[in-house]
Amino acid sequence: MNEHTDLAVDAEVLARHDRPGPRYTSYPPANVWDEAFPEARYRQALAEAAERREPLSLYTHIPFCHGRCAYCGCNVIVNRKPGAEDRYLDYVERELALLAEFVGHRPVAQLHWGGGTPTFLTVERLERLHGMIGARFGFTEDAEQALEVDPRVTTREQARVLRALGFNRVSLGVQDFDPAVQKAIGRNQTEEQTRRLMEWLREDGFNGINIDLVYGLPKQNLEAWDRTLATIAELRPERLAVYSYAHLPSKLHNQRRIAEEELPPRETKYELFALARRRLLEAGYRAIGMDHFAAPGDELTEAMDAGRLRRNFMGYTVQPGADMLGVGASAIGDIQGVYAQNAKKLSTYYQPLDEGRFPVHCGHALSADDAMRRWVIHELMCNFGVDHAAFEARFGQPFGEAFAREDPALKELEAADFIERGPDRLAVKPLGRVFIRNVAMTFDAYLGRAVSEKAYSRTV
Ligand code: SF4
């Protein structure tokens, strides 16, 4: 099986490997972090980070949306109070000032605004937020500045202003063009809205447009999905992310609006992904990591070919800064192995900032064992293999010795044709790439712990 052949998988294999599991945008995953994580530990990590002069990554969360989509898994506030955005920006400004006090004036190499809906903010507020970040940290000359835009609400003027501010990458939420699916997920977005926004973005000179699609949504079927994929191939974004819908109604109340009997069965869900993969490869895209696709010549493709692909909370990336600051409600920072997530509600995000403290809600400081496993999982997710010499050079012990306990599970993965093990390298085979989360789970020391499996999405 190579990149261009069909990924046919029989029902028995699917059933055996369709388990709840993390997406590994961090290791360990956020839902095993310590809810009593001391804010002082985060301060200490930030203070140590001041010694490093390298550029930063900075994620800003803008939680506001006009309504809550039924499938949404993000931290969202449906805002109806006038002035709420200005108050929020006031607190973001406080948090930025506090962060700058600790890490100093290190420039941002990678900026990402997510949400919620960043373009919920008016042009003036977008300018204010960007100005606040620029004033505290500044940007490197070739900084990647990206944000998520909602084609239903983004205006011509917003697109122009964002480009003028220095944004060069944009990610459009589409999910599926099929009106029946859109109705079932409570998100009506015409093809015209998406086309129009793409035209504006191209006119303004954005050179990296990403479209997000989601498979496994209610009412999805292969025929209509194929039409969505044909439209996408014609729109030609530079990148695509094709995410698996994570149905977690016990954790996300809005998902209770989704009728479970309308969700595609496991086999159809897998076929939806396989069809997307096939159509995008036929259209000339390259498959990147677990669920991304990029046009030839795109930085992501080049990074993958050079073994430089990276993964962080926003997905696959090419130029993460040495430290990642998370700003805003629910944002996550990663300061050289110390993770900290901000409080999710506005009130609990604001209160500590009023007292001059970071609004840390939970966190985790990596142990030596965590760091080793994190590196292996990262290599698997990004480069589909682990080089034994590179592992030993980094961690001072042979790979086989460090993971002797995982040997029986690795043998099972070999028998399933997911991986092959040689003296120099563990390599993920084409079938294992589809089940890369399952392969990574073998190295996850937290999986068996008392964490509710309901907290994870399924791997298929
Ligand atoms: S899916 Fe996007 S637009 Fe819909 S509620 Fe969630 S963040 Fe807001």
Same domain, yes or no: 384 and 276? no
Q: Is 171 in the pocket of ligand 1 (CB under 6 A)?
A: no
pLDDT at 186 over 80: yes
Overall domain count for the chain: 2
27-55 pLDDT per residue, tens = 999 989 999 999 999 999 999 988 888 89
Query: Can you tell me the mean pLDDT for 424-429?
Result: 96
Residue 17 binned pLDDT confidence (cut-offs 50, 70, 90): confident
Distance of CA 353 from the midpoint of ligand 1 (Å) = 26
Same domain, yes or no: 432 and 289? no
Same domain, yes or no: 295 and 381? no
Residue 4 binned pLDDT confidence (cut-offs 50, 70, 90): very low
Same domain, yes or no: 96 and 188? yes
CA atoms within 13 A on the CB side of 98: 22
Inside any domain, residue 340: no
Q: Is 114 in the pocket of ligand 1 (CB under 6 A)?
A: no
CA-to-CA distance for 165 and 145, rounded, in angstroms? 9
Inside any domain, residue 361: no
Domain of residue 390 covers 1-26+367-449
Q: Among 325, 346, 375, where does a domain finish?
A: 325
Which of 76, 147, 150 has the most ligand 1 atoms within 8 A of CB, as the residue to mutate?
A: 76
CATH number, residue 272: 3.80.30.20
Which of 154, 187, 214, 255 has the most ligand 1 atoms within 8 A of CB, as the residue to mutate?
A: 187
Which of 66, 71, 75, 117 has the most ligand 1 atoms within 8 A of CB, as the residue to mutate?
A: 117
Which of 121, 148, 150, 252 has the most ligand 1 atoms within 8 A of CB, as the residue to mutate?
A: 150
Q: Is 208 in the pocket of ligand 1 (CB under 6 A)?
A: no
- What pairs with residue 7 in β-bridges? none
pLDDT at 453 over 60: no
Inside any domain, residue 283: yes
pTM, to two decimals: 0.93
345-404 pLDDT per residue, tens = 999 999 999 999 999 999 999 999 999 999 999 999 999 999 999 999 999 999 999 999
Which protein residue has the closest C-alpha to ligand 1 atom 7?
116
What pLDDT does residue 455 have?
Answer: 63
Q: Is 86 helix (H, G, I), strand (E, B) or coil?
A: helix
Inside any domain, residue 130: yes
Query: Can you tell me the mean pLDDT for 89-115?
Result: 95
Of 137-141, 287-291, 313-317, the poorest mean pLDDT is in 313-317
DSSP summary character for residue 83:
T
CATH number, residue 440: 1.10.10.920
Ligand 1 atom closest to 152 (CA): 3
List Cβ neighbours of 192 (8 Å cut-off, separation of 6 or more).
none
Same domain, yes or no: 309 and 398? no
Whole-number Cα distances in Å, 137 to 6, 100, 249, 325, 429: 47, 7, 39, 11, 43
Same domain, yes or no: 166 and 226? yes
CA-to-CA distance for 297 and 65, rounded, in angstroms? 34
Q: Among 325, 347, 380, where does a domain finish?
A: 325
Q: Is 62 in the pocket of ligand 1 (CB under 6 A)?
A: no
pLDDT at 106 over 60: yes
Distance of CA 78 from the midpoint of ligand 1 (Å) = 9
Inside any domain, residue 336: no
Q: 46 φ, ψ to 5°?
A: -65, -40
Query: Can you tell me the mean pLDDT for 86-105?
Result: 96
What pLDDT does residue 307 have?
Answer: 83
Same domain, yes or no: 278 and 385? no
Query: Can you tell me the mean pLDDT for 272-297?
Result: 93
Largest CA distance in the chain: 63
Q: Is 252 in the pocket of ligand 1 (CB under 6 A)?
A: no
Inside any domain, residue 114: yes
Percent of the chain with pLDDT over 70: 95
Question: If we measure between CA atoms, which residue out of 360, 382, 378, 380 comes closest to residue 370?
Answer: 378
Same domain, yes or no: 100 and 228? yes
Same domain, yes or no: 138 and 224? yes
Inside any domain, residue 338: no
Which protein residue has the closest C-alpha to ligand 1 atom 2?
116
Distance of CA 116 from the midpoint of ligand 1 (Å) = 6
Which protein residue has the closest C-alpha to ligand 1 atom 5?
68
Q: Is 43 in the pocket of ligand 1 (CB under 6 A)?
A: no
DSSP summary character for residue 102:
H
Same domain, yes or no: 52 and 127? yes
Same domain, yes or no: 156 and 218? yes
Q: Is 72 in the pocket of ligand 1 (CB under 6 A)?
A: yes
Same domain, yes or no: 260 and 283? yes
Q: Among 301, 325, 349, where does a domain finish?
A: 325
- At residue 284, what is the residue type? G
What pLDDT does residue 454 have?
Answer: 52
Cis? peptide before 82, omega within 30° of 0:
no
Q: Is 63 in the pocket of ligand 1 (CB under 6 A)?
A: no
The label of the residue with tokens 């990149």 reads: 3
**Mean pLDDT across the chain, nearest whole number?**
92
Inside any domain, residue 342: no
What pLDDT does residue 2 have?
Answer: 42
